[in-house]
Amino acid sequence: MTKLDGSKLFVNEMNIQWIESLPDTAITFLGGARVIVRDTPSEIAARCNSLRAGGDTQHQPSEIRPSSKQ
């Protein structure tokens, strides 16, 4: 993902609690931390699903879907 200042950010998608469009995209993590990124919620969900599709099939959580509230 890309932060607003242009720097790259790598996160553990298993720690994402929710993603909001405020209108900037805010990612809130399970620990309460929040980061604002340039990527859209749909782009983030697609990346998470793509990574998971090639990863550990035994411990995969349910598919991430962007909210219809975007």
Number of domains comprising the chain: 1
pLDDT tens-digit profile of 9-22?
888 888 999 999 98
Cβ-proximal residues to 27 (8 Å cutoff; 6+ apart), any chain: 1, 11, 16, 18, 19, 34, 35, 36, 37, 44
**pLDDT value at position 12?**
87
pTM above 0.95, yes or no: no
Residue at 27 is within a domain: yes
Tens digits of residue pLDDT in 4-51: 999 998 888 889 999 999 889 999 999 999 999 999 999 998 888 877
Per-residue pLDDT tens over the stretch 52-63: 777 544 444 445
Residue 23 is assigned to a structural domain of this protein: yes
Q: Report if residue 39 sits inside a domain.
A: yes
For residue 48, what are the domain limits?
Answer: 13-52
Residue 65 lies in a domain: no
